[in-house]
Structure 1
């Protein structure tokens, strides 16, 4: 029986696009007010370089100003979530309810920061279904495979799947001997999804996947 599903957050459960541009605009408007920026908001560049974002977007600024900007951006993201300006992907709660009804535990493993993840979980009442949410901040290596391993060890999980939209999610599954479910959503890339065990276009497809797996194992 498929014991657990471990979900990514951004681009898998939460439609990050809904608040990304809005929060980036808030942040760069603030920089303009501080006379630290005088052109348009670099949203396209942000999409290209998610990772070491502020070094790339603010190449001539000090590390102190980059840290200040990053903190402000996080604050803006959280405020926009709490104002209801974001959204879950379709069918998240329907799928979560189905999984719980079928004795499948749910976890979240995300590269997002704790405060950001807590804002999403709280606003959408995801703790009604999710056993625990894990942030990459909880491990020193910042490796998603290690984060998933932490969940497996803590909850003694034997058979599970990782559900996510990026290669880091797929690799996290494979590194731990789990099934990798790739989500063909907003941030997904075809070459990365090709490495998943199965690819879905809608979260509701998980209901069929879980049902088929559990039926085959019960035979």
Structure 2
């Protein structure tokens, strides 16, 4: 408990995006169908559309790992095109007001900001996507930094969070996320970890090692003085 108490009142909160702040399946179900329709039209992938749950189960991974899991026998050209289409269709969906934040996310972020905490995003996604979600869902102004693997070319979330902490001279922070990569990134950088048990994309064992589990985003406010 010693480490937990030392970081009980942190300087900052670092949030994952997909499955933590943003309920990604509300955007991705339609995007997924469109990607595979286009790939078939272009002759790059001729099989049936993989189950969308397979894609949702890969959220939090780097893009290269996602397509290796979703369509393992595909060509490099198909995977590269899927990257392009995913970003294009995600941004089009966001602009069309598709996709929602989890309940209470905006209110809690505003309250944390009002209490003087610095807020950040650390995501394995592409820069344009991560910033697009924040912009189109109206929460971009609440953050002191939006960090993505796409922008910083990091090979793991551990490295991304380390870069963020160094850039902003943050000594104590909480990592808030729904995947094992978030737990690893927090623990490897000496942070308190709040695991998001309300997210449906990961499995419960992914949150093993978290200091606390959230079943509702509002619980975050009850954990700090």
Provide structure 2 residue ranges, at least 5 long, that are not aligned to the other structure: 1-8
Matched, 1:123 2:131: no
Would you say the 8 A contact 2:20–2:102 is kept in 1?
yes
Would you say the 8 A contact 1:18–1:85 is kept in 2?
yes
Match of 1:77 in 2: 90
Q: CA deviation at 1:189?
A: 1.9
Secondary structure (helix, strand or coil) at the match of 2:223 reads helix
Would you say the 8 A contact 1:144–1:172 is kept in 2?
yes
Alignment map for 1:148-187 (pairs within 5 Å): 148-184=161-197, 185-187=199-201
Secondary structure (helix, strand or coil) at the match of 1:210 reads coil
Q: CA deviation at 1:199?
A: 0.3
Matched, 1:113 2:122: no
Matched, 1:12 2:7: no
Match of 2:221 in 1: 207
Q: CA deviation at 1:173?
A: 0.9
Alignment map for 1:95-110 (pairs within 5 Å): 95-110=108-123
Q: CA deviation at 1:64?
A: 2.1
The structure with the largest alpha-carbon Rg is 1
Matched, 1:189 2:203: yes
Provide structure 1 residue ranges, at least 5 long, that are not aligned to the other structure: 212-219
Secondary structure (helix, strand or coil) at the match of 2:144 reads strand
Q: CA deviation at 1:40?
A: 3.6
* d(CA) in 2 for partners of 1:37, 1:165: 31
Number of residue pairs the alignment of both structures matches: 211
Cα-to-partner distance string for 1:5-28 (whole Å, 9 max, x where unaligned): 000000000011112121010111
Match of 1:32 in 2: 40
TM-score (norm 2): 0.86
Q: CA deviation at 1:54?
A: 2.7
Cα-to-partner distance string for 1:97-123 (whole Å, 9 max, x where unaligned): 110111111000000100111110110
Matched, 1:136 2:149: yes
Would you say the 8 A contact 1:139–1:146 is kept in 2?
no
TM-score (norm 1): 0.88
